[in-house]
Structure 1
Amino acid sequence: MCGICCVVSLSLSRCSLHDHVYETLHRRGPDRSRDVTASSSNPEYSCLFSAHVLHMRGSPTPQPLQDDHGNLLLWNGEVFGGLAVEPEENDTQVVLSRLSACKSPSAVLSVLGQVKGPWAIIYYQKEEHCVWFGRDFFGRRSLLWSWGADERSFTLTSVSSHSSDLRCLEVPAVGVYRVDLKSWTERESLKVDVYSWELTDSDFTWEGFPSSVSFVLNHSGLSSPVLPMNMSVTEVEPNSCNSSHTSLDDLKELLKSTGKRETVRRLIDVLGEAVRRRVQHLPHQSHPHQAQVAILFSGGIDSMILAVLADRYIPPDRSIDLLNVAFKLQEPKKNRGSGKKGQNNKKERETHAVTTSLQTHFDVPDRITGRDGLRELTALSPGRKWNFVEINVTQEELKEMRMKNICHLVYPLDTVLDDSIGCAVWFAARGSGLVSEGEAAQRQHNSTAKVVLTGIGADEQLAGYSRHRVRFKTSGLQGLVKELAMELGRISSRNLGRDDRIIADHGKEARFPYLDEDVVSFLNTLPVWEKADLSLPRGLGEKLLLRLAAAELGLGPSAVLPKRAMQFGSRIAKLENSREKASEKCSRLIAS
């Protein structure tokens, strides 16, 4: 994980970086920071490259990384496949080595098209006077674009600041971009070549950019890292369920089908490999028994399966942090009775207040299901030390950190939903909370894990949201297939850049096993009715394939828990205006 930034200006004057942006970039990469400038008098331009590294792999490697030809690489990514990177190697060095050998745009695209894993890149080719930049196919790493008021400079950065003098847009994850700086100096207008992914929507338009910026779409040279989605629709015999209530027995009955069990095992294999790649070969820590991996954990099926699979590949003497966030419930209104009847004496009232005070205020739905999930995991793997971290957030702390940090990280997104999820994920990823020791005792726990696994991608691919049921009821399987294709196509702009900025603010790296290229390719080969059956009740039909996998892995009640969105499960949505719509612009995200 890195914080990367590049400021390009059509002058030889020294480029500068906003102080707040520099500080935020450094929080993303606290292990090593370095600035490098590059300039040219013919044509005339200057560039500032700033990189802040979170060391995750191989030997510590400072960035920007420069080769013998003066080319500079800023790489915020992880190579989990496609290019050969040995466990002891640093992938930034491997990527630069491959790029240095490229003599044409098609060669650069060939290298980047092979990478499996999340990445954002800024690559300066000195001899060609050009800057390449972009994000991976799913946009799992943030990259923002802004331009100067005189339109003679632009900035590329992992994160920006929500202030009046900075205007940013997310770089759309539709391909890889190339800017010819020599051409820019001659034309006084900025032409951006866009080499799109094979499966990208050809009707995409770039909005919000100055009139002096134009985009030229090139459809050749960048192969998609995933297989296309199976869009076939046919009449299939529905799965049977005898009641409107779901149980683990329903899943076990469905698993008796040989074909279903084989598909389930294939999913477990490919998802297990995705988790393995993301939890092994991590940098050593000073305390060998501290957790290196944490999971955003609600006790729901997505996070439970990640925990079970992580348990397979993390050494048994290592603990795993389960990060569970809750926002303080509102104080219940006290009943004011009259007369002596029913009144408690002072001592009884004080005892009751102590008993129901701190913890009950944070017993939100995700806290309750999280504790249930912990019991299931402990039963499956009793030798593992599971740190169930209860992260309790008061309204006062929420307001303080929203204005200080979170509003800048969510930016340029700005909806009520972005606020709710951004705040919940920020506090969860911080990992500061309480861990139970025995029956009643609790101790303070600050997660040391640099890797944070998150379940995003499961709902989008396996029809986990309530809107999928609505679409199925109104438009059948054909409508559902189109909805899922749209979900996966927009996940970069709706979720992933924001979540990357939020989690990385703590010097931690978000990893998304459900969006591993091999996992997505496998799920894309399946017809929709093998992934979900929305004719079945909630808690069974949505994400049916994943629920069957949970049963196969030995999970219990968590396998049939209905989907509950994070903003409702953590109860952050209850703290604000209940009449707000998720898609509305959120006034709370405006920095004061």
Structure 2
Amino acid sequence: MCGIFCLLSLSPTPFEWDKTIHQHLKRRGPDSSQDVTVTDKHGSYQCVFSAHVLHMRGLLTPQPVQDDTGNVLVWNGEIFGGLPVMAKENDTAVISQRLSSCSSPAEILSILSSVRGPWGFIYYQKAGDYLWFGRDFFGRRSLLWMLNAEVLTLTSVAAHTYGPDQTIWQEVPAVGVYRIDLKAATESSTMTFEVYPWAHAGNNVISTCIETISESLPSGCSAVMNQSGLALTSPVCPLNTSIPETLNEPEIHPNLYQSVKDLEQLLASKENNAEVNRVIHVLSEAVRRRVQSLPFQNRDHSPPENDHASVAILFSGGIDSMILAVLADQHIPAHQPIDLLNVAFKLQEPKKQKESAKKNKKHKNESTNSKTDDAPCRTSSPFDVPDRITGKAGLTELQSLNPERKWNFIEINVTQEELQKMRRERICHLVHPLDTVLDDSIGCAVWFAARGAGLIREDSDQRLFASSAKVILTGIGADEQLAGYSRHRVRFKTSGYEGLIQELAMELGRISSRNLGRDDRVIGDHGKEARFPYLDEDVVSYFNSLPVWEKADLSLPRGVGEKLLLRLTARQLGLSQSSVLPKRAMQFGSRIAKMEDNQEKASDKCTRLFTSCKE
């Protein structure tokens, strides 16, 4: 993974770029940093490329990579399939060699279409004076753009400024790749982005693509579809939209299938077994590719030093992270630990003036409230939030499945003071340009979790511990594909399976702009790489191929109906109580949502992000 940057100026006048951005980029890539400047022979434009490398694969390859003919590549990605990459090879070098041999746009698109894995890239093609850039199909790697006074800036991460001179950053839409004709741009003093879309949206791909891009275009730019009609080939199959008439009208059965034994009954059918076994196969392969593509020097079989792991998992004890842990356990050598990153925000004590007024009500409802996700409960620690409790229960399950494995359950405890400090210094810049209360909550929770600094308990003792893992697995993508959110139930109740299918199609279509760019920026700030097994191309293709009622049955209660296929998979893998845990959003499970204004809505603009960057 890398922090990549390009500044394109249509003027030969020297310029300076924001040093704060440079600091953010360097934290993403601590192993190598360098810059390359390309200038047109007539001095009509200049490009400054900067790359900061997190060494993950093969031999360390400094970027930007400039070949013998003058082409320049900055690449932030991983090749997990589609193109051959040998054990000692670096994927950046492989991509650079492939692109160097291209003489036409079709050849470039063919190479990019072949890559299986996350990527963001910027490529200067000297022949023809073209600048290419873009993100993968799902947008798993961040790329931002901003145009100011004939200067276009592309970067993995920006810096938020506050006030009348604030710069306007936008995420590059993950609808295709873009090409700028630099000669034409200098002649007209305007920048036009030629779009090469992903061919996955059917007949309306052109209008939808341009409409999406137009919403986030930098001021002063325009976008046009390429005149050749070329497109990237979609890496996943289309979503199955079939709806049997007998299933079109939802019938709610809240009292059916509420236990592990009920899941076992469902699993007993031959048809369900076949589907579950297929899920295990494709998901296991996705995890294998992501836990074995590690820095070359860490892939030997020598015992780890000081119990340090190479792979960590964002871990709540919920079904998504539990399945990732079980599958990672199958592919990581037995002597190597696995870090389980569990974040909790300190429970705030109620204000004294409210205590007496609530005292009687609290005692009356205490036994009931202790069973709910969002109610306060008696705890032995102010950090015993719901995700900490389910995380510890999940740890017990994993230890029973493989007692020989060293599971580093890292308790990451965050106080309000530290939250405010790190939001102000770092996180507000990383979340930007997203700006809602939800972005703040998730961005902060993931940032502290990915940092991996906390406590581990051994017998009755505990000690400080910091995760050394460069690879962090995250369960994002499961809810979006398998109807895991409460809004999916609402849509199902109001519009049946047809409405649910529309909702799921929208979820995957917007995941790049709502989640993935932000999470990549936040996790990458620690010099670590986010990897998303549930968004592996083969996994998504398999889920897309199934009719919706085989993936979820929202006529069944919470904890069973949503992500039903994944729950059956968990049971087949040997998991028990975690397989029937209801979905709990990270901001509630970690209790970060309780640390701030409880009257806020998730979609509200978050003033804390603005005021933090202002200070």
State the 1:333 CA deviation. Answer: 5.7
Cα deviation code 1:106-133 (max 9, x no counterpart): 1111110111100000000112211100
Cα deviation code 1:257-305 (max 9, x no counterpart): 1011000000000000000000014123583841000000000000000
Corresponding position of 2:428: 407
Corresponding position of 1:216: 224
Corresponding position of 1:419: 440
Matched, 1:317 2:322: no
Corresponding position of 1:512: 532
State the 1:514 CA deviation. Answer: 0.1
Corresponding position of 2:511: 491
Alignment of 1:280-319 (within 5 A): 280-283=292-295, 284-285=297-298, 287=305, 289-319=307-337
SS of the counterpart of 1:279?
Answer: helix
One-letter code aligned to 1:443:
R
One-letter code aligned to 1:322:
L
One-letter code aligned to 1:156:
L
Most deviating of 10-19 and 553-562: 10-19
Corresponding position of 2:106: 106
SS of the counterpart of 1:197?
Answer: strand
Most deviating of 276-285 and 305-314: 276-285
Q: 1:242 to 1:44 in 2, by over 3 A?
A: closer
Most deviating of 500-509 and 78-87: 78-87
Corresponding position of 2:392: 371
Corresponding position of 2:450: 429
Alignment of 1:326-345 (within 5 A): 326-332=344-350
**Any conservation in 1 of the 2:477–2:534 contact (CA below 8 Å)?**
yes
Corresponding position of 2:179: 178
Corresponding position of 1:475: 495
Corresponding position of 1:566: 586
Distance in 2 between the 1:288 and 1:391 partners? 19
Q: 1:239 to 1:470 in 2, by over 3 A?
A: closer
Distance in 2 between the 1:143 and 1:15 partners? 21
Distance in 2 between the 1:233 and 1:245 partners? 23
SS of the counterpart of 1:44?
Answer: coil
TM-score (norm 1): 0.94
Alignment of 1:3-402 (within 5 A): 3-42=3-42, 44-148=44-148, 150=149, 152-163=150-161, 164-200=165-201, 201=205, 202-204=207-209, 205=211, 206-209=214-217, 212-218=220-226, 219-236=229-246, 243=255, 246-283=258-295, 284-285=297-298, 287=305, 289-332=307-350, 360-402=381-423
Q: 1:262 to 1:587 in 2, by over 3 A?
A: same
Q: 1:336 to 1:585 in 2, by over 3 A?
A: closer
SS of the counterpart of 1:326?
Answer: strand
Most deviating of 33-42 and 500-509: 33-42
Cα deviation code 1:384-411 (max 9, x no counterpart): 0001100000000000000100000000
Distance in 2 between the 1:160 and 1:211 partners? 17
SS of the counterpart of 1:360?
Answer: coil
One-letter code aligned to 1:153:
V
State the 1:239 CA deviation. Answer: 11
One-letter code aligned to 2:274:
E
State the 1:189 CA deviation. Answer: 1.4
State the 1:444 CA deviation. Answer: 0.4
**Any conservation in 2 of the 1:424–1:566 contact (CA below 8 Å)?**
yes
**Any conservation in 2 of the 1:414–1:589 contact (CA below 8 Å)?**
yes
**Any conservation in 2 of the 1:8–1:15 contact (CA below 8 Å)?**
no
Structure 1 segments, 4+ long, off by >6 Å, are 237-242, 334-337
One-letter code aligned to 2:412:
I
Cα deviation code 1:513-557 (max 9, x no counterpart): 000000000111000000000000100000000000000000010
Cα RMSD (Å)? 1.9
Distance in 1 between the 2:602 and 2:253 partners? 34
State the 1:166 CA deviation. Answer: 2.4
Distance in 2 between the 1:384 and 1:557 partners? 20
One-letter code aligned to 1:84:
P
**Any conservation in 2 of the 1:130–1:178 contact (CA below 8 Å)?**
yes
State the 1:40 CA deviation. Answer: 1.1
Matched, 1:503 2:523: yes
Q: 1:390 to 1:465 in 2, by over 3 A?
A: same
How many equivalent pairs are there? 571
Which of 570, 574, 578 lines up with 1:554 in the alignment? 574
Q: 1:333 to 1:10 in 2, by over 3 A?
A: closer
**Any conservation in 2 of the 1:14–1:46 contact (CA below 8 Å)?**
no
Corresponding position of 1:343: none
Corresponding position of 1:350: none
Q: 1:272 to 1:108 in 2, by over 3 A?
A: same
One-letter code aligned to 1:235:
E
Cα deviation code 1:537-581 (max 9, x no counterpart): 100000000000000000010000000000000000011111111
State the 1:212 CA deviation. Answer: 3.0
Matched, 1:579 2:599: yes
TM-score (norm 2): 0.90
**Any conservation in 2 of the 1:239–1:533 contact (CA below 8 Å)?**
no
Cα deviation code 1:202-238 (max 9, x no counterpart): 4242125355311012452311011111011113569
